[in-house]
Structure 1
Amino acid sequence: MLETIRLICDTGLFVLIWIVQLIIYPSFSYYKHDDLFKWHDIYTKRIAVIVIPLMVGQLITSSIQVYFNPYFYTITSSLLVIGVWLSTFLVFVPLHTNLSKREEVELSIKKLKLHNWLRTLLWSLIFIVTCYYKFKTS
């Protein structure tokens, strides 16, 4: 059951991050600033309803897995999850705060698009590692 919940969270975040990377963040460059600020306010509230439960679920399941079975998959996976959390709160929350405050708008958009490749890579690796483990042990 735990592994299924983990797979659901990892898959959801994998799909979501690629949509954000290829569609949502690049679209920010096409908005006039006033429209961007209105949309960004709506976007961040709506995306949080999807992202927060998935990220918390991923963190909880990876923590439980590493606690009860501390081996290569669970440790590696947990380190990748921690990397996503650190990058989210140290890099992306401040960039979104800049947009909400209407500060450093162009630079923040540029950084969102560029630096989000890190989270895209991390969540892709998490998804690949989870799928490999899940289907190898099935």
Structure 2
Amino acid sequence: MLAKLLIDFGLVILIWMTQLVVYPSFTYFGKDELFTWHQKYTKAISIIVMPLMLGQVVVHGYFLYTDFDAIKLIAGILIGLSWINTFSFAVPLHNQISAGQDIVESAKGLVKINWFRSALWTIVFLLSLFDYLKNQG
């Protein structure tokens, strides 16, 4: 249960730093500078975010299977929505930047679409915190 909470906390911190600092900073780069920086950024951030996202699916899936309740079901649905958002919207925008296509508009798009993912991971963390505290009593 603590592992679930820690993974969710890691993702909520990561997503809010990305939303409030990283993605907005993309709009201050020129096209060439963003293209160069983005190559380094995506490789580095993937090392952090992918294990957390995969860990979240595994841990939440385990608890959903072994200790099913409404909180875990809602969290599982929200995690599924975050994956859909990530791979349907964020990854294509990152791919456009990496390909040098619509760099400025793609950077602005990341800021816009990431609000949904920020909200999702925040709610998942709050549900995990509630679930953790409920089980500590």
Instruction: Pick one of 78, 89, 107 that aligns with 1:80.
Output: 78
**Does residue 92 of structure 1 match 2:93?**
no
Deviation track 1:39-91 (CA, whole Å, cap 9, x = no partner) reads 10000000001001100000001111111122111101111111111110011
Overall identity of the aligned pairs, in %:
37
Question: Structure 2: how far apart are the matches of 1:48 and 1:64?
Answer: 24
Is contact 2:75-2:127 (8 Å) kept? Answer: yes
**After the TM superposition, which segments of 4 or more aligned residues of structure 1 sit over 3 Å from their partners?**
none
- Equivalent position of 2:65 in the other structure: 67
SS of the equivalent of 2:27 reads helix
**Does residue 6 of structure 1 match 2:4?**
yes
Q: TM-score, normalised by structure 2?
A: 0.97
* Structure 2: unaligned runs, 5 residues or longer: none
- Equivalent position of 1:112 in the other structure: 110
- Equivalent position of 2:120 in the other structure: 122
Q: TM-score, normalised by structure 1?
A: 0.96
Question: Structure 1: how far apart are the matches of 2:117 and 2:132?
Answer: 22
RMSD across aligned C-alpha pairs, in angstroms?
Answer: 0.8
Q: CA deviation at 1:7?
A: 1.0
